């Protein structure tokens, strides 16, 4: 090498990269798509791995959000609580009021806690202002980013209440509080102006502690806070653990799903990149022999061909990182809104680890065949390069020739047997592409089934509330009756009058009454919430994992977590107590319940005659607009003391849409990688057989027959890949979905697990052929257009 210097090696590398333009492009595209898919999957896995913890740490969220009575505790006394032992940081006091806003269309929003803060930043609860600006004067308000949508945007106006003296508030920004300390923020003067007899101003203090990882530690800190202020000054507090549980529960099911796609992406990357580079080196044996003949050492040959692989792969890796970041950002933004976390970006280490791993894969894939070529003797390399073994696969040609098919097709069907290793690479690429498509289709079907099955209360088009708003700006918690507020007690609406109003409203399709109450079950030391129903609850029935829905008195339906924690089974009898009344009920079914982390059991109101429904869930007739229906019904209900609202998409539905978007994007990328692998292999095969194609053209093969030959060479592989990939995809779906369910502490009903239909499976089997044929179209067109004389001169 000293005789030639490094310039000769560089020229060999550059000429090899430039001469094999198709393979160079395929290597670059394959690595780009593989790296982009890995960056997207890795970023989403990082985002889904405890998103609340990351956002909470970044914002220095409050471990405890406490509300104090300013009439009993002065500002100095509250500030002094921030210096108690164990408190590492505090913020406040901030004036706080609760309102029940009305939007521009007259629709009532749930109770909103408004906090007066001069700026979004602080030592505790450093808010992330997602859009707009911070309020600068009265009449301006910043809302939690969860409110942002087509009906509430920057510049939208709200009224603080539906009263004649309700104040007009203009939305000037949207912010995120990881610890969910409030739903809105305004100036201190604005919060003071929002105060009323039914909603007096309270003082909010935010605390961070040196020990706040467990419920017991939080309880101990609360006791210290209560002891540090006058008796009765501490009105209540919220723990960060409650928000953490809710956020982590939403994130947990995404981890198995992303791991599945991540593993598929890694395996396909190894297969495709390895086969692409191995083929490129394997088809250059004659050139390797020539290089050895003019003095290149085996080590230099290995370096040259590894470099020829790394150059286009490096370009593809760089482009893949950029593409992955671009594709990941919209999904991360959706993840922010679903999880309610602060700004999410692609983790810096993902942009380092993924390219490094890809370079390692490319290097190893190129090194193995390059070492083999470097060990070949010069004469042997030239001989193998000029006269590759043609006898392999003759039996396949003889067998295919007996088929009642055109000769061009039988020739193509037998071609894969001449290169079994290359054929195996195509088969694996097609099979894994089919696995990805099958898994994604099943996942989409299951997520749609989950959306249809989860929380029937959220599925109802309209909700009528049979109680007046409380002091905290919203209806009282269902089933808990009227709540005292500033000396006033709202009057619950007579359920009979509510039913009459609903039945009299044109457009009502069906409805049922419901109330919620705390319950205890004999032998179970668990906090349990009872949902009690009245009327025809078929439209509100939960999907059943086993057993059936309640049909009358004496029955109870429980979620999977209840059975797991109590050891009970469907068919057992349990004693349930609600408000001093006890009933013996038989468990008739196990419900699919994804509502929250509190156990909820379902019973008939007839078993507890002292209770009555305080909300009514209504389905409207086809063609009826829920918002218009709610507005008309509200006109009849509000004079009674209740309210009506049209329901909107829940966070659970948003999560389903996000997972479906992730699945579609990752599947498209994996299928594209599979198609590129087929493209490369067919290009190599076509170039190797270009002389044979020239002979066939010389004896009368038409361009159409040439295309048929090339496509037939991959059609059989596509069929076999589909036959292997579909069952594997179904099996992957059957494994991942229960894991996602267990992450949410629930089993899954059959309607969620069994989503594949026979026609779909047949079409998915054909997906293997589609992937193979699409990947072979370009080289097939090139072979058809090649001139006979040019093909005969080419080796």
361-382 pLDDT tens trace: 778 877 777 777 677 676 666 6
- For residues 385-409, give the mean pLDDT: 63
CB 708 within 8 A of CB 409: yes
- Confidence label for 483 from pLDDT (cuts 50, 70 and 90): very low
User: What are the tens digits of pLDDT across the range 63-104?
Assistant: 888 889 898 989 899 989 988 988 999 988 999 988 878 776
SS3 229: coil
Mean pLDDT, to the nearest integer, of 200-223?
88
Cα–Cα distance measured from residue 303 to residue 378, given in angstroms and rounded to the nearest whole number: 17
How far apart CA 79 and CA 76 sit, in angstroms, is 5
pLDDT at 9: 59
What separation in angstroms does the CA of 659 have from each of 34, 80, 523? Answer: 20, 47, 39
Please compute, for residue 780, the number of CA atoms within 13 A of its CA located in the half-sphere on the CB side.
Answer: 23
Q: Which of 14-23, 24-33, 59-68 has the lowest mean pLDDT?
A: 14-23
Is the pLDDT confidence value at 650 over 60?
no
Which of 127-131, 318-322, 378-382 is predicted least confidently?
378-382
Cβ-based burial of 321 (10 A; exposed 0-12, middle 13-18, buried ≥19)? buried
- In the prediction, which pLDDT does 626 show? 84
Q: What is the mean pLDDT of residues 664-689?
A: 73
What DSSP string describes 696-712? HHHTT--HHHHHHHHHH
Mean pLDDT of 597-618: 84
Helices 703-743 & 690-698, crossing angle to 10 degrees?
A: 140
Residue 622 pLDDT > 80: yes
pLDDT surpasses 50 at 468: no
Place of tokens 């913020």: 91
Angle (deg, nearest 10), helices 51-59 and 240-251? 140
Mean pLDDT of 349-359: 84
287-317 pLDDT, tens digit per residue, is 666 777 777 777 777 777 777 778 888 888 8
700-754 confidence digits (pLDDT tens): 777 787 778 878 888 888 888 889 989 998 998 888 888 777 766 677 788 788 8
DSSP string for 685-749: HHHHTHHHHHHHHHTT--HHHHHHHHHHHHHHHHHHHHHHHHHHHHHHHHHHHHHHHHHTT----
766-782 average pLDDT score: 80
Residue 144 has pLDDT above 60, yes or no: yes
Give me the pLDDT at residue 536, please. 82
Of 474 and 501, more confident: 501
- Token pair in block for residue 238: 């919220």
- 8 A C-beta contact, residue 674 and residue 722: no
Which is more confidently placed, 569 or 337? 569
Judged against a pLDDT cut of 80, whether residue 651 lies above it is answered with: no
Top-confidence residue, 164 or 426: 426
Q: Which of 48-52, 245-249, 446-450, 790-794 has the highest mean pLDDT?
A: 446-450
Contacts of 199 (CB under 8 A, 6+ apart): 97, 98, 99, 471, 472, 473, 485, 486
How confident is residue 691, by pLDDT bands cut at 50, 70 and 90? Answer: low
The pTM (predicted TM-score) of the whole model is 0.64
pLDDT band for 469, please (50, 70, 90 cuts): very low
């Amino acid at each position: 090498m000293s005789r030639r210097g490094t310039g000769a090696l560089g020229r060999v590398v550059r000429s090899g990269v430039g001469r094999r333009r198709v393979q160079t492009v395929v290597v670059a595209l394959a690595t780009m798509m593989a790296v982009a898919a890995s960056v997207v999957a890795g970023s989403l896995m990082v985002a889904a791995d405890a998103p609340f913890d990351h956002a909470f740490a970044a914002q220095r969220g409050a471990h405890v959000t406490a509300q104090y009575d300013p009439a009993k505790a002065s500002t100095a006394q509250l500030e002094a609580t921030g210096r108690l032992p164990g408190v590492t940081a505090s913020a406040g006091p901030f004036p706080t009021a609760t309102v029940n806003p009305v939007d521009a269309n007259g629709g009532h929003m749930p109770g909103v806690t408004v906090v007066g803060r001069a700026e979004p930043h602080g030592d505790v609860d450093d808010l992330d202002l997602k859009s707009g600006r911070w309020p600068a004067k009265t009449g301006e308000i910043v809302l939690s980013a969860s409110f942002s949508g087509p009906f509430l945007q920057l510049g939208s106006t709200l009224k603080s209440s539906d009263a004649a003296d309700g104040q007009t508030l203009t939305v000037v920004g949207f912010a995120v509080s990881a610890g969910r300390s409030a739903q809105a923020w305004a100036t201190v003067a604005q919060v003071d102006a929002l105060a009323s007899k039914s909603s007096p101003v309270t003082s909010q203090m935010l605390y961070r502690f040196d020990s706040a990882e467990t419920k017991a530690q939080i309880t101990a800190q609360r006791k210290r806070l209560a002891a540090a202020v006058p008796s009765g000054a501490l009105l209540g507090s919220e723990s960060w653990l409650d928000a953490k549980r809710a956020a982590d529960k939403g994130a947990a099911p995404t981890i198995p799903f992303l791991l599945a796609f991540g593993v598929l992406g890694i395996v396909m990357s190894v297969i495709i990149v390895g086969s692409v580079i191995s083929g490129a080196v394997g088809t250059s044996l004659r050139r390797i022999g020539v290089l050895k003949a003019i003095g290149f050492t085996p080590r230099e040959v290995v370096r040259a061909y590894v470099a020829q692989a790394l150059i286009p792969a490096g370009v593809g890796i760089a482009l893949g990182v950029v593409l992955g970041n671009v594709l990941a950002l919209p999904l991360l933004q959706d993840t922010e809104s679903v999880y309610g976390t602060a700004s999410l970006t692609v983790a810096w280490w993902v942009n380092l680890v993924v390219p490094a791993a890809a370079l390692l894969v490319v290097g190893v894939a190129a090194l193995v065949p390059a070492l083999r070529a470097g060990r070949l003797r010069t004469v042997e390399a030239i001989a193998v390069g000029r006269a590759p073994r043609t006898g392999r696969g003759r039996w396949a040609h003889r067998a295919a020739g007996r088929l009642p098919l055109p000769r061009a097709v039988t020739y193509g069907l037998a071609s894969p047997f001449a290169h079994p290793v290359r054929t195996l690479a195509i088969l694996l690429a097609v099979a894994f592409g089919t696995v990805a498509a099958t898994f994604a289709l099943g996942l989409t079907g299951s997520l749609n089934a989950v959306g249809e099955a989860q929380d029937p209360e959220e599925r109802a088009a309209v909700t009528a509330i049979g109680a007046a708003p409380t002091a905290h700006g919203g209806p009282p918690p269902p089933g808990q009756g009227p709540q005292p507020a500033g000396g006033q007690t709202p009057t619950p609406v007579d359920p009979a009058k509510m039913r009459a109003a609903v039945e009299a409203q044109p457009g009502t399709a069906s409805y049922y009454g419901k109330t919620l109450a705390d319950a205890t079950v004999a032998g179970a030391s668990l906090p349990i919430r009872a949902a009690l129903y009245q009327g025809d609850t078929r439209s509100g029935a939960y999907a059943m994992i086993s057993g059936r829905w309640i049909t009358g008195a004496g029955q109870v339906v429980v979620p999977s977590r209840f059975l797991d924690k109590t050891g009970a089974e469907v068919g057992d009898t349990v004693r349930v107590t609600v408000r001093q009344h006890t009933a013996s009920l038989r468990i008739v079914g196990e419900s699919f319940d994804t509502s929250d982390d509190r156990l909820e059991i379902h019973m008939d109101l007839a078993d507890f005659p002292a209770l009555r429904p305080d909300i009514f869930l209504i389905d409207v007739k086809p063609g009826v607009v829920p918002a218009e229906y709610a507005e008309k019904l509200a006109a009849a209900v509000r004079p009674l003391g209740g309210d009506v609202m049209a329901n909107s998409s829940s966070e659970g539905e948003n999560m389903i849409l996000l997972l479906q978007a992730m699945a579609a994007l990752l599947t498209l990328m994996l299928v594209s990688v599979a198609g590129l692998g087929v493209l490369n292999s067919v290009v190599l095969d076509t170039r190797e057989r270009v002389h044979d194609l020239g002979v066939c053209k010389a004896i009368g093969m038409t361009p159409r027959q040439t295309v048929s030959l090339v496509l037939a060479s991959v059609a059989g592989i596509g069929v076999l890949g589909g036959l292997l990939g579909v069952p594997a995809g179904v099996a992957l779906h059957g494994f991942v979905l229960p894991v996602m369910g267990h992450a949410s502490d629930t089993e899954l009903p059959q309607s969620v697990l069994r989503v594949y239909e026979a026609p779909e499976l047949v079409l998915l089997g054909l997906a293997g052929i589609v992937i193979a044929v699409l990947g072979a179209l370009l080289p097939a067109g090139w072979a058809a257009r090649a001139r006979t004389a040019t093909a005969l001169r080419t080796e």
